[in-house]
C-alpha cells in the first residue's frame, strides 16, 4: 500500500518536472507515514516540505503540483488533501486494502516473514547462568527475550543458532562444591559455621541430602579436596539438568550448550592469549598480563592473566567470542543482565582486536525484574538464599503469562511483574486478552461448521469486496501493518513491538466482534467475514508463536 503511494508520487514528480512545473529533478526519498489522526487520512507524504528549499517554492505549492500530476489507474485513492504546512494526505478506498486479506491466506504462516537476513549467520547467546543455583525471574526475562529474538530473526530469514554458555570452569564450581560439602558434613553430625562466601540456598541442602543418599558416609573417608570435587561435579550436573528442565518448561530450548571448560581443555584460551601477546594487544606488567582495551575506547586496561598465573573470566570470554566468529557466525548477539553493562567496552575491544567488526557484535542488556505480589514487592536476595525462582513463577502463573509479561516492555525498561495480576483471567491480563481473540475465532469457526456447514475457505473476491464496515477496514489495515512490525522488531531486536501490535489487533477484533455478527443471513457476507477473521486468527497465532506463547482453540 505504502509502496503504491510511493510509486504514484514518484511518477507525479517526474511528470511534473517534464512539464516544467518543477525547477529541479533532484528529488528526495519519498517516505509514506500513517498519520495518527483519522482526519489526516490513511497515509501521508511529507515530500513537498522536504523539497521546498531545493525547488525554491512553498511546500503547499509543490503539493499542488504533485497532486496535479498524480495518476491513480486503479482508483485506490478515494480523496486527497493538502494539510498543515504541506502534507499530502491520502484517503484510501476501503477496497484498496482487500488484497491484504488474500495475501494473508496465500502466505499463511509465512505471512510477515522476510528475507532481510538471508545469508547472515547469527548466533544468539542467552541465559548462560552459572550452574550454581536455580534460575530466578531475571534469568526468565533474559530467556524470554533471547528466545523471542531468535524466533523473530529466523522469521526474517536469518540463519540463527541459539546457545547457552556454561560457566563451568574452576572457581565458582569449586565454591559450589564446598557449599554442598559443608552441608553434607553438617548432615553427618558435624557442627560448623557456614561461611558467608558459600551458597546458602535450600537447594544446597537438598543436594547434600542426595549425595548422602547415594554415597552414604563414604566422603568422610576422603580428603576435603576430594570430597569437594565429588560434590562439585554432582551438584553442577544436577543443577544444570534442572536449569535445562526449567527452561524447557518455559518453552526454551537451545541448539547448543557450550562449555567454558572445553575452551581450556582444547587450549583455546591459551591460543587466544598467545595470539594477542604476539599482537602486542596483551602485555605484561607487575607480573600480570593486561589487555590493551584502552586502545579501543575502554576506560582502563584489563587483566587477563593474574600474577598468580590464573586466567580471569575475561580471558575465557575472549577465547569464547573469537571461537564464535571462528565457527562462521557473521553476527553475534549476547543477552546480558543490565548489571553487566560495564563489560561491553572490553568485549567490543576484544572483538576489534581479534580482527572483527565490533558492529557485528550486539549486546541486549535486559533490565531487572521486580517481582510483586498484589502490588507489594517480593524479597529477592540471592545471597540470603531467599528468592523467587523461575520455576516457581512458571508453576504459579503458567509459561504463557510469564513470557508475555516478560515481553510486554522494552528490555531496557525495568519491569514490574505482579504475580497476582499474571494469574488473573480478566482484561487486566494482556495474555488472556490476546489469546481470547484466537479462542473466540475458533469458536465462531466451529459454529459456522456446525450450523452452516461451512468447512473450507477459498478465495472469494466477491465476498471480500463486501467488507466495507469501518471496523473491517480497520482490521485489514492492521493486518497490512504486520510485516512491517516484524521487520522493525527484527531490525531492532525488539520483541515488545509484536506484543503491542497483538494487543492492538486484539482490541480491534473485540470491538468488531461486539458490533457486528460474523454469521449473518447473507451467505456471501458471512463468507467474506469468516475469511477475514480467519486471517486475523492466523496473524494472532503467528505473532504469539514469535513470542513463544500458545494460541488456544478454546479457553
The nearest distance, CB 189 to RNA, in angstroms, is 32
What 3-state DSSP class applies to 188? Answer: coil
**Closer to RNA at the Cβ: 50 or 350?**
50
| Smaller CB separation from RNA, 9 or 219 | 9
Q: How wide is the angle at C-alpha 106 spanned by C-alphas 71 and 516, nearest 5°?
A: 80
Cβ at position 221, least distance to RNA in Å:
30
Min separation Cβ 25 and RNA, Å: 20
Question: 300-308 contacts: CB < 8 A, separation 24 or more?
Answer: 302/346, 304/273, 304/276, 305/273
CA terminus-to-terminus distance, the chain: 36
Q: Which is nearer to RNA, 242 or 471 (CB)?
A: 471
Cβ proximity to RNA, 23 vs 443, nearer residue: 443
Q: Which of 116, 232, 213, 236 is nearest to 167 (CA)?
A: 236
Give the three cell numbers for residue 188.
553427618
Pick the closer one to RNA by CB: 390 or 533.
533
Q: How near is the Cβ of 253 to RNA at its closest, in Å?
A: 24
Nearer to RNA, 193 or 514 (CB): 514
DSSP 104-142: HHHHGGGTT---TTTT-EEEEE-----TTS--BHHHHHH
> Residue 222 or residue 338: which is nearer to RNA going by CB?
338
Give the CA dihedral 299, 300, 303, 307, nearest 10 degrees: -160
Cell of 375: 502490588
Nearest-approach distance from CB 410 to RNA, in angstroms: 3
DSSP code, position 309:
S
Q: Is the separation of the CB atoms in 321 and 350 below 8 Å?
A: yes
Least distance CB 164 / RNA (angstroms):
15
User: What's the min distance (Å) between Cβ of 554 and RNA?
Assistant: 4
How distant, in Å, are the alpha carbons of 190, 388, 514 from that of 200?
17, 14, 55
Distance CA 311, CA 120 (A): 33
Amino acid at each position: 500500500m505504502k509502496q503504491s503511494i510511493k510509486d504514484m508520487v514518484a511518477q507525479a514528480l517526474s511528470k511534473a518536472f517534464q512539464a516544467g512545473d518543477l525547477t529541479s529533478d533532484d528529488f528526495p526519498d519519498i517516505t509514506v507515514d500513517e498519520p495518527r489522526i483519522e482526519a489526516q487520512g490513511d497515509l501521508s507524504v511529507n515530500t513537498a516540505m522536504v523539497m521546498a528549499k531545493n525547488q525554491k517554492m512553498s511546500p503547499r505549492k509543490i503539493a499542488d503540483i504533485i497532486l496535479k500530476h498524480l495518476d491513480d489507474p486503479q482508483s485506490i485513492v478515494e480523496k486527497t488533501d493538502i494539510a498543515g504546512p504541506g502534507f499530502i494526505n491520502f484517503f484510501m478506498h476501503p477496497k484498496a486494502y482487500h488484497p491484504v486479506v488474500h495475501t494473508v491466506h496465500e502466505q499463511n504462516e509465512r505471512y510477515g516473514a522476510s528475507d532481510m537476513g538471508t545469508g547472515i549467520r547469527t548466533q544468539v547467546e542467552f541465559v548462560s547462568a552459572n550452574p550454581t543455583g536455580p534460575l530466578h525471574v531475571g534469568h526468565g526475562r533474559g530467556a524470554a527475550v533471547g528466545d523471542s529474538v531468535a524466533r523473530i530473526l529466523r522469521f526474517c530469514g536469518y540463519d540463527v543458532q541459539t546457545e547457552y554458555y556454561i560457566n563451568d570452569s574452576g572457581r565458582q564450581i569449586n565454591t559450589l562444591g564446598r557449599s554442598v560439602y559443608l552441608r553434607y558434613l553438617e548432615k553427618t553430625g558435624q557442627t560448623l559455621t557456614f561461611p558467608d562466601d558459600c551458597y546458602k540456598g535450600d537447594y544446597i541442602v537438598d543436594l547434600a541430602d542426595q549425595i548422602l543418599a547415594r554415597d552414604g558416609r563414604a566422603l568422610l573417608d576422603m580428603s576435603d579436596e576430594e570430597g569437594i570435587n565429588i560434590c562439585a561435579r554432582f551438584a553442577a550436573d544436577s543443577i544444570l539438568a534442572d536449569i535445562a528442565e526449567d527452561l524447557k518448561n518455559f518453552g526454551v530450548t537451545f541448539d547448543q550448550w557450550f562449555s567454558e571448560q572445553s575452551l581450556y581443555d582444547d587450549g583455546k584460551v591459551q591460543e587466544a592469549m598467545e595470539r594477542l601477546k604476539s599482537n602486542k594487544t596483551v602485555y605484561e606488567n607487575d607480573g600480570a598480563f593486561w589487555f590493551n582495551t584502552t586502545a579501543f575506547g575502554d576506560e582502563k586496561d584489563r587483566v587477563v592473566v593474574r600474577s598468580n598465573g590464573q586466567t580471569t573470566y575475561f580471558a575465557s570470554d575472549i577465547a569464547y567470542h573469537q571461537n564464535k566468529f571462528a565457527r562462521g557466525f557473521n553476527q553475534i548477539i549476547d543477552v546480558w543482565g543490565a548489571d553487566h553493562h560495564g563489560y561491553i567496552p572490553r568485549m567490543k575491544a576484544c572483538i576489534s582486536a581479534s580482527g572483527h567488526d565490533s558492529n557485528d557484535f550486539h549486546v541486549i542488556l535486559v533490565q531487572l525484574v521486580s517481582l510483586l505480589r498484589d502490588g507489594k514487592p517480593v524479597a529477592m536476595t540471592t545471597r540470603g538464599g531467599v528468592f523467587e525462582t523461575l520455576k516457581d513463577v512458571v508453576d504459579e502463573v503458567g509459561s504463557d503469562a510469564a513470557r508475555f509479561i516478560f515481553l510486554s516492555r522494552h528490555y531496557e525498561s525495568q519491569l514490574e511483574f505482579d504475580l497476582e495480576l499474571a494469574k488473573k483471567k480478566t482484561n487486566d491480563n494482556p495474555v488472556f486478552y490476546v489469546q481470547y481473540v484466537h479462542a473466540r475465532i475458533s469458536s465462531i469457526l466451529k459454529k459456522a461448521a456446525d450450523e452452516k456447514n461451512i468447512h473450507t475457505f477459498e478465495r472469494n473476491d466477491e465476498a471480500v469486496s463486501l467488507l466495507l464496515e469501518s471496523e473491517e477496514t480497520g482490521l485489514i489495515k492492521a493486518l497490512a501493518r504486520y510485516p512491517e512490525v516484524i521487520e522493525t522488531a527484527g531490525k531492532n531486536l525488539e520483541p515488545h513491538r509484536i506484543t503491542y501490535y497483538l494487543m492492538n489487533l486484539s482490541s480491534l477484533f473485540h470491538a468488531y466482534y461486539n458490533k457486528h455478527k460474523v454469521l449473518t443471513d447473507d451467505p456471501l457476507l458471512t463468507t467474506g467475514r469468516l475469511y477475514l477473521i480467519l486471517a486475523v486468527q492466523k496473524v494472532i497465532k503467528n505473532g504469539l508463536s514469535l513470542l513463544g506463547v500458545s494460541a488456544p482453540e478454546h479457553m
